[in-house]
Amino acid sequence: MKNKINIGIVGGGIASLVFANLLKNNQKFKIKIFEKNKIKTRAKTGIQISNNARRILNKINFNQLDKKNFCEIRKVNILQYENKKKISHLSMNHFNNREEEYVSLDRNLLINFLIKQTKKKIDLCYEEVISVKKNKICFEKKKEEKFDIVVVADGIFSKIGGGMSNYSLQKISAVAYRGVVRGYNFGNSSNVDLFLGDSKHFVFYPINKMGDFSFTSIFSTNSNALKKDYSSISSKRELMNLSCNANSKIKKIISLTNTIYRWPIYQQQKIYCGKNKTFVIGDASHAMAPFQAQGAAQSIEDAFCLSQMFKNNIFDAKYFESLRRDRVKMILEKSYKSLFIYHLNNLLTKEVRNFFIKIICKYRILSNFYFGKIYNYKFKD
With a cut of 70, list the residues of the chain below it in pLDDT.
Answer: 1-2, 39-42, 161-167, 186-188, 223-231, 380-381
Contact 213, 181 (CB under 8 A): yes
CA dihedral 294, 295, 297, 303 (to 10 degrees): 150
* 238 closest CA partner among 229, 206, 225, 228: 225
pLDDT confidence of residue 250:
97
pLDDT at 228: 59
* 92, 360, 375, 376 from 371: Cα distances, Å: 10, 9, 6, 8
CA distances to 143, 211, 230, 269, 281 from 11, in Å: 17, 32, 17, 22, 10
Check: CB of residue 78 under 8 Å from CB of residue 86.
Answer: yes
Q: Are 107 and 46 within 8 A, CB to CB?
A: yes
Q: In what order do the strands lie in the sheet with 46-49?
A: 46-49, 103-106, 70-72
Q: What pLDDT score does 40 carry? A: 61
> What pLDDT sits at residue 1?
44
For the chain, the C-alpha Rg in angstroms (whole number) is 21
> Concatenated DSSP letters for 231-300?
-EE--HHHHHHHTTTS-HHHHHHHHT-S-EEEEEEEEESS---EETTEEE-THHHH---SSSS-HHHHHH
> Could you tell me the CA-to-CA distances from 4 to 12, 31, 277 in Å, in that order?
22, 10, 15
How many Cβ atoms from other residues are within 10 Å of residue 261's Cβ? 18
The closest of 283, 204, 285 to 251, measured between CA atoms, is 204
Cβ neighbours of residue 199 closer than 8 Å, sequence gap 6 or more: 219, 220, 343, 345
CATH 3.40.50.720 fits 5-169+268-375, yes or no: no
Q: What are phi and psi of 122, to 5 degrees?
A: -120, 130
* Of 90, 100, 114, 118, residue with least CA distance to 49: 100
pTM of this structure: 0.93
* Beta-carbon contacts of residue 42 (< 8 Å; ≥ 6 apart): 107, 108
- Tell me the helices (H) and strands (E) count for the chain, helix number first: 11, 20
81 backbone φψ class: left, alpha, beta (φ>0; ψ -120 to 50):
alpha
The residue ranges of every structural domain in the chain are 5-169+268-375
- Residue 138 has, within 13 A of its CA and on its CB side, a CA count of 9
Q: How far is CA 213 from CA 113, 151, 182, 259, in A?
A: 20, 34, 6, 13
User: What is the predicted pLDDT for the residue at 163?
Assistant: 60
